[in-house]
Amino acid sequence: MNSDTRWLDEHEQQIWRALRELIWGFESAMDRQLIRDSELSGVEYSVLAALSETEGGTLRARDLAHTLDWERSRLSHLLKRMEARGLVARTECPEDARGFDISMTAAGRTAIEKAAPGHVSFVREHVFDSLTPAEQEALLSATTKIQNSLRAAGWWERTGKGG
């Protein structure tokens, strides 16, 4: 064993395990809620939410990937599946034939409108309602510091995660 390793003490291990279980468990629970209530996965919801927040519901594929902080290859595979389900449409970008515009279809708009109330209720009930305002601020501070640390170390680059 490396003697320079800064091992976690018992309390730090408890915090780390709680955080790890939260990360894995929350995403899974959120996906189950979305699929049950709207037949959308968390990543599909993320794509439709990003498109719904733009003028006209359309973004360049590369801009959508950047907005979601996803690798373009992962987004491309997801968009193919979503296009097959009629949730989005891909068209050649008029300014650059190498790029694609991603547009939310009427079915995609219906899906996000159906999913949003339940999703917001899930987040409100399981995140915000269980924390005091001070705990919410502490959570924001802690998660921002962790993200910044990962970014500074080069570990937060286009992870392919989303949602």
Specify the pTM: 0.84
Query: Does CATH place domain 10-152 in 1.10.10.10?
Result: yes
State whether residue 153 is helix, strand or coil. coil
pLDDT at residue 31 in the model: 95
pLDDT at residue 158 in the model: 52
pLDDT at residue 96 in the model: 75
Q: Is the pLDDT of residue 71 over 80?
A: yes
Strand blocks (E) in the chain: 58-60, 88-93, 96-104
pLDDT at residue 72 in the model: 83
pLDDT at residue 98 in the model: 76
Residue whose token pair is 């730090």 = 12
Task: Please report, for the chain, the start and end positions of each structural domain, with discontinuous segments joined by +.
Answer: 10-152
Q: Which two tokens stand for residue 2?
A: 């490396």
Give residue-wise pLDDT tens across range 37-65.
Answer: 999 999 999 999 999 999 888 999 999 99
